[in-house]
Structure 1
Amino acid sequence: MFKTFHHAEADPQLPGWQAYVVDQGWSRFSAEDHETWDILYARQTKLLTGRIVRRFKEGLGQVGLGEGGIPELGRLNAKLHPLTGWRCVAVAGLVPDEAFFAMLAARVFPIGNFIRTRAELDYLEEPDCFHDLFGHVPMLADQAVADAMQRFGETGVEAIAVGEGDKVARLYWHTIEFGLVREDGAVRILGAGLASSFGEALKSLDDPTIERRRFSPEAAAATPYRHDAMQPLYLVADGMDAVVAALEGPLP
C-alpha cells in the first residue's frame, strides 16, 4: 500500500505562497541523511550518463549539488540566483497547486525539508529534497527553461482561477516531472521524477512494455497520470525547444 502524501500547512500570519515557507533546518539532518544524499547522487549521476538531456548535465555542474551531503539552500541560492534569478525555499511537504504555481511565477522553487529513508532509495512516491534539488534545480540553471518555468507559473495561476487547474497540472506532469525528449537521435530523460528515481529512470527508457507517445501540449493537457505508482506511459517531445514553447505558450 502506498503512503499518503504529507501536505504542508500554511502559516495564517503570512500572505500567499510565503505562508508555506519554512526553515530548512539543515543542521538537524543526521550523518545518515547526508550519506543517503551522497549515495543517491553518486548512483543517479552514473545512471544518467547518456540518458539525460544536455541542459540537465550542464546545470548540474553549475549549481554544485555534488559537493558532499544535502545542500544548504543559502549556499545553493548563491550559485543559482546569479545565473537565472531563481531561488529555492524550504517547505514541509507538498503545497497546494495555487501556491505552487504562484511560487513558480515568482521564480521560487519549493524544496522539501526532509529526505527519504534507505528503504526508499529506488522509488519514492512523495517528493523529498533529493527529488526537488537533484531533479529540478539543474534545469533552473538554464536561462530558456528558467524563463519558461516562470511563464508557466503565471499560466498555472491564471488556469486555476478559471477552473482549468487539471490541464496545467497534466502539462507540468508530462514535461517537467515525467517528460522524455528526443535529442541527438535518442530518447532522453527530461522530467525530474525520472532523473531522481533509479527504478523509473531505467524503466522509462528500457522497458519494452511501456507505452511512449509523441508529445504535444494538447496531448499532455488531456492525458491522465498516476501519482501513486510508476507511470504506465510517457510523452516524448521532439526536442527541448518544443518543451520550452509548450511551457511558454497558452494553455491548450
Structure 2
Amino acid sequence: MTPTERTIARLPAHLRRFVVSQDYAAYTARDQAVWRNILGKLRGHLADKAHSVYLEGLEATGIGSECIPSLDEMNEKLSRLGWACVGVRGFIPPAVFTELQALGVLAIAADIRTHEHIEYTPAPDIVHESAGHAPIIANRRYAEYLKACGLVGFKSIASVEDQAVFEAIRNLSVVKEDPDASEEEVAHAQARLEAASASRRFVSESTRASRLYWWTAEYGLIGDLERPRIYGAGILSSIGEAKHCLTPAVKKLPLSVACADTDYDITRMQPQLFVARDFEHLFEVLREFESTLAWKRGGDFGLEEARRARTVNHLVLADGREVTGRVLEMVAAPRPLASGLTTALVYMDGPILSSREGKAGGEKPWNGSALVAFGQAALPERGPFKLALESGLVLEGFAAGGGEVLALRGRLAGRELDLPAVTKLFVSTHLPSVAGGPADPETWDRWFGEMSAFSEGDGEAKARSRKALALHPSLAALYREVRQMREARTVKPERLAQIAAAATDFPDDWLLRTEVEELRAPRA
C-alpha cells in the first residue's frame, strides 16, 4: 500500500467516501506552470513576512516549488509530524472537514486553480490546502491548535440554514472558477448565496466556530500588532492576499473571541485581520469560545440550541449514554432540577440512535420518536412502571425492553401531557452536554448515509469539464514542450524563440510567455 492508501485505510468508513485519488497524471503542464508561478512568488514574498517556520515547514511537509506535490510524498513527511493528508474534491461538508482535522488529517483539494485566478481563488485547491495549511504544522503547538480547533468545529451545532449557505458558497466558488461561466451565471450564484445567508434565523454555533477558524487558521496574523507575520493558510496560499494583508488598507485587530462574531466573505480579500500574540494565544481564545458552546454547557442552553437548529444532534446523559436525534420541544419543570436545567421532559424526533462513547455497539436505530425525562428514577427493563420525578412529572406505561415503552401516559403539575403511546424513554438526573451531529457518525452514516450523501453537483462537474476543455490542444502542446525542457534542464534557444512566436496566437495566456522568458533568461 502507498502512504496515502494506508492513511485512507485508517479512516472511519463514513469519512472514506469523501476521499478521491489524486490522479497525478491528470495535471497538465499548464497546471504545473501555475504551481511553479505561485510557489515561486510566495516563497520570495513570504520569506520575511510569514511565521519563521514557513520555509522550513514547506520542506518538512513535502512541498517543493517546481511541481505540484504528490500526496504520497506529503504523507511520508507529514507522518513524522503526527499528521496525514487525503485528497478530496473541492468543498466538502464542514462536519467532514472538521472531523478529519480533529484526527490530524489534512483534506487536500485535488484540483488546482486556473491561471486567470492565480493570485486568489475562492475555490479550494491544492495550492491552498497544501502550501497554505501544511507548512505551519511543522510548529508542534500550532499543529495541536489545528486539531483542537477541528474538534470544536465538529462538536458545534449547525442549523438547517447552514447547509443551504454551504451549498451556495460551494456553487459560487465553482462558478467563479469556471472559465465559461457567464455574467448571468455568476450573478445568479451570488444572488443564491445572498438569499441563503438572508434565510438564517440566527447565528449558529457552527457558523461562529467557522468564523473563529477563518480568522485564525485561514487568515491569521501573529506577533506584534504593528509588524505582524502571516500564518493563516488563506494568506500563505494567495499572493494577492499576501501582498494586500500587511498594507495599511487592512485593519489589524488584537485577536479575541470577538472574531467569532465577525462575518467574512470568502469571495473577496479581507478588510480586517486579527493578530494573535503567539500560538498560546490561540488556545486562550479557543478555550474561551469553547466554554460558550452547548457541547460544554449542556442543560437548557444546549437543548434550546439543538431545538432551534432543527438538525440531527446528540444529548449526553448523566450516565454517559448518548441519544442522537432532533430535539423538537421541551416541557419546563416548575422549579430547577439541576444546575442550568429547568426542563422536565424533551421530545425528540426520530430516527433515534443510542450509543456510549461514540459507539452504538451494533444497536439499530429506533425509527420512532423518543422522550428524555429528567430526575432521579430508573426505568425497569420490562413490565409495568410508574415514575414520579422531582419535577412533578409522572410517567406510567409498560416497558417492552431496550428502553421501548408502550401505553405511555404522563402528567405534570396536574396537566395531562400529549405523549406518544409507543416511544423510547430515557431518564437522566441532568444533562452534561448537547453536541453537534450524531454521537456515532459511522453507524449513523451506515444507516442513513445515502439520505444525506454528498456528491459533486452538476455545476461542479460541468465546471471541471469546461476547465479541461478550455486548454487548446496546441497551447497544451507548447506547455508540455516547455515543461520537458525544464525537467531535462536542456534549453533550446531556437525552439524557445519559435514557442514564443507561437504563443502570440494565445494573447490571453500570459503564463506561457512567462515560462519561456524564464528559460531564455541568462542563468546567474
TM range (shorter): 0.7 to 0.9
Instruction: Describe the SS at the equivalent of 2:17.
Output: helix
User: For residues 82 and 143 of structure 1, do their structure 2 counterparts lie closer, same or farther at Cα, with a shift above 3 Å needed?
Assistant: same
Q: Does 1:38 align with 2:79?
A: no
Give matches, 1:1-252, under 5 Å: 15-66=13-64, 68-83=66-81, 85-160=82-157, 163-182=204-223, 186-206=227-247, 208-216=248-256, 218-247=257-286, 250-251=289-290, 252=292
How far apart in 2 are the matches of 1:247 and 1:110? 22
Equivalent residue letter for 1:199: G
CA distance in 1, matches of 2:53, 2:281: 14
Q: Residue 156 of structure 2 aligns to a residue in which SS? A: helix
CA distance change for structure 1 residues 250 and 209 in 2, over 3 Å: closer, same or farther? closer
**8 A contact 1:52–1:190 mirrored in 2:** yes
The one-character-per-residue Cα deviations of 1:121-145 (angstroms, maximum 9, x if unpaired) are 1111112100110000112222212
- On the 8 A contact 1:90/1:113 being kept in 2, the answer is yes
Mean Cα deviation higher: 238-247 or 89-98: 238-247
Secondary structure at the counterpart of residue 153 of structure 2? helix
Query: Which secondary structure does the structure 2 equivalent of 1:188 belong to?
Result: strand
Superposition misfits of 4+ residues, deviation over 4 angstroms: 247-250
Opposite residue 221 of structure 1, the aligned amino acid is: A
Q: In the alignment, is the contact (CA less than 8 A) between 1:211 and 1:233 conserved in 2?
A: yes
1:54 match: secondary structure: coil
Distance 1:67 1:180, change over 3 A: closer
TM-score, length-normalised on structure 2?
A: 0.43
Query: CA offsets per residue over residues 165-193 of structure 1, 9 Å max, x none?
Result: 01110110000101111159721111111
Q: CA deviation at 1:69?
A: 0.7
More helix by percentage: 1
Distance change (3 Å), C-alpha of 1:15 and 1:125: same
SS of structure 1 residue aligned to 2:134? helix
Matched pairs, number: 236
Output the aligned Cα RMSD: 2.0
**Counterpart-to-counterpart distance in 2, 1:93 and 1:61:** 25
Cα deviation for residue 152 of structure 1 reads 1.6
Indicate if the aligned counterparts of 1:101 and 1:156 stay in contact, CA closer than 8 A: yes
- In structure 1, the residue matched to 2:388 is none
With the length of structure 1 as denominator, give the TM-score of the two structures: 0.87
Greater RCO, CA 8 A, separation 6+: 1
Mapped partners of 1:171, 1:65: distance in 2: 27
SS in 2 for 1:220: helix
Q: Which amino acid aligns with 1:209?
A: A
Q: Which has the higher strand share?
A: 2
The answer to whether the 8 Å contact 1:183/1:239 transfers is: no
Could you list the per-position Cα deviations for residues 72-100 of structure 1 after superposition, in whole angstroms to 9, with x for gaps in the alignment? Answer: 101111011112x1111001111111111
- Tell me the distance in 1 between the aligned counterparts of 2:287 and 2:17: 27
Distance across 1 between alignment mates of 2:20 and 2:286: 28
Distance in 2 (CA, whole Å) between partners of 1:247 and 1:76 is 28
Query: Alpha carbons of 1:75 and 1:209: their partners in 2 closer, same or farther (altered >3 Å)?
Result: closer
- 2:83 partner amino acid: W
Q: Which runs of 5+ in 1 are unaligned?
A: 1-13
The answer (yes or no) to whether the contact 2:36–2:65 under 8 Å persists in 1 is no
Query: CA offset at residue 244 of structure 1?
Result: 4.2
Letter in 1 for 2:109: G
Q: Per the alignment, do residues 30 and 175 of structure 1 end up closer, same or farther by CA in structure 2, a change over 3 Å counting?
A: same
Secondary structure of residue in 1 paired with 2:106:
strand
CA distance in 2, matches of 1:17, 1:120: 30
**Structure 2 residue runs without a partner (length 5+):** 1-11, 160-203, 293-524
TM-superposed deviation, 1:39: 1.2
Distance in 2 (alpha carbons) for counterparts of 1:34 and 1:73: 15
